[in-house]
Structure formats: structure tokens, C-alpha cells
């Protein structure tokens, strides 16, 4: 029957489209992870936005302080 052949072609097309979309999404995720790694490296080294890593005379160990220092939250 003709519809079986058409269905197979359509399913192959959809599979190819899904594969392309998946590859694009993975690529974007890798780029974002690389950018985040560079930002984290800059924050850890203190080169982020001109602030040094040790802004206080004595380090603060609270959860909020650690998140602010490490992630800029």
C-alpha cells in the first residue's frame, strides 16, 4: 500500500529533524557550560568585575556569603 511508504518517509524526515534539533541543543548547552566555566574561573580568581576574592578582612562562611562570593548572587 502507498501509505506505508509515505509513513516511512515522513517518520524518517521527522527523525532527521529531531536529530538535528538535538544536536543544536547539545551544542548550545556546551557553549553555555564553557561560558559558565570561564565566568566561574574569573570569579574564583577575583578577576570578575574588578573585585578581589577577599573583600572582607575575615572570611564569611554563611550560605549567603558563599553564594555571593562564588556565584555573584
Long-range contacts of 5-8 (CB under 8 A, 24+ apart): none
What is the residue-level pLDDT of the chain in tens, covering all 73 positions?
456 666 677 778 888 999 999 999 999 999 999 998 888 888 888 754 555 545 556 677 778 877 777 776 5
- Report field, pTM of the whole predicted structure over 0.95: no
DSSP 61: -
Amino acid at each position: 500500500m502507498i501509505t506505508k511508504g509515505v509513513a516511512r518517509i515522513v517518520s524518517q524526515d521527522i527523525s532527521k529533524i529531531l536529530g538535528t534539533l538535538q544536536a543544536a541543543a547539545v551544542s548550545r548547552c556546551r557553549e553555555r557550560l564553557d561560558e559558565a566555566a570561564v565566568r566561574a574561573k574569573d570569579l574564583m580568581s577575583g578577576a570578575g568585575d574588578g573585585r578581589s576574592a577577599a573583600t572582607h578582612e575575615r572570611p564569611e562562611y554563611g550560605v549567603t556569603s558563599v553564594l555571593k562570593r562564588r556565584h555573584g548572587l
